[in-house]
Amino acid sequence: MANLLGVALFAVFILVSVSLHEAGHMLTAKAFRMKVTRYFVGFGPTLWSFKRGETEYGVKGIPLGGFCKIVGMTPQDDDVDPADEHRAMWRYPVWKRTIVMSAGSITHFALALGALWIMAVSVGLPNPKFPSTEEGFKAEPAVIALAPCVVVENANRACQAGDPASPAAKAQLRDGDRITAVNGKPVSAWGDMLDVVRGTKPGSATVEYVRDGAPAKATVDLAAVQRPPLGDPKGATSAVSAMGVALRPTTPQRIEYGPAGAFGATADFTGMMAVQTAHAMQRIPQKVPALWTAITGGERDMDTPISVVGASRLGGEFVANDAWYGFFMLFVSLNFFIGVFNLLPLLPLDGGHIAIAWFERARSWLFARLGRPDPGRVDYLKLMPITYAVILIGGAFTLLTVTADVVNPITLFSR
């Protein structure tokens, strides 16, 4: 039930974001006295609407987005009333059209930044010094967090009835103890401890540790488990020893900020997200084969793109596992990605309209300097083949990601 609630809640968050995107276009267009005739949430048949002034507002039956109709977005629009010719969008200065067309993405950025600032002052933002790779975690000091049990087989799951208790817990070790040696072999980092423990025969072992600054020893009955080689999680498993502990990083995972300091932290984190988003978008073509593999029965790569369906499913998982931090961070990441994606210079995206507006402006400036007549506006009809190609490719990719998210979804929490 909690999972379904989370799915529905995240879907509502996305719908609100997209609706605000369109509201950004509408409000800036109205501010410049462009004519906006329709603003609707959803697509398909109209469920409810009303008209105020010259704009019809309403809700449609398919809650998968929204739209607003600005009169005369292109010179080729044939639905402009002669009385509204002077208010057609394409007749306005390029800077005004740029503001209107970018307002949707700016709304997504504002939502992401606002959410990040609130998180920074309430629950904290990710610490950039927190380990982000397997090697980084291995280099952390061997400070332990007790596991409730030992899972003997090689499986990522929660403890179940019949699983042996944690040997470290039975030996009276505690969360926060720093392991310094196992059977006389010194360890200085988490990776060292894993190597030494796995290389020790199951059974009694002397573990030296430091607690509250004081050294101590304990006899731990190491358990026999099946694990793949370190650094090769898909490798063949073999019998090794385990102590029943997890890493407790000494570097805080999140940092909380005051209201003023949160602005700088939000800006820094946004810059990091911008770099990550750019890299993710560059890798999208490379991930298509991995998506197809996931659909045809292969393992789903955690690094493959997800659709709105997949994002909503992950939102449901976060809620079901009381991981609200992940829920809101997913909301932030999705808004940031949509904002950047919509600014790509491709029709029918907002960035395509912006790119054409500035191309027209640059071309007019150049022709004026050359003493040649202004070539006028770009003929959007001649760009329709490219537009249709973008729509076709985008639609196929969306279908691919939705299918993968339905038949083989990414799961962050073991079941």
Active site residues per annotation: 22
Compute the distance between CA of residue 313 and CA of residue 412 in angstroms, rounded to an integer: 10
113: phi then psi, degrees, rounded to nearest 5: -65, -40
What is the token pair recorded at 350?
Answer: 């907002």
What is the token pair recorded at 129?
Answer: 């010094």
114: phi then psi, degrees, rounded to nearest 5: -65, -45
**242 by DSSP, 3-state: which?**
strand
Compute the distance between CA of residue 321 and CA of residue 183 in angstroms, rounded to an integer: 38
Provide the 10 A C-beta neighbour count for residue 224.
14
Place of tokens 């290389």: 199
CA 60 to chain centre: 28
Compute the distance between CA of residue 69 and CA of residue 203 in angstroms, rounded to an integer: 73
Provide the 10 A C-beta neighbour count for residue 118.
13
Compute the distance between CA of residue 42 and CA of residue 62 in angstroms, rounded to an integer: 5
Compute the distance between CA of residue 404 and CA of residue 412 in angstroms, rounded to an integer: 15
340: phi then psi, degrees, rounded to nearest 5: -70, -45
Burial of 223 (0-12, 13-18, 19+ CB in 10 A): buried
Buried b (16+ CB within 10 A) or exposed e, 262-281: beebbeebeeebeeebeebe
**277 by DSSP, 3-state: which?**
helix
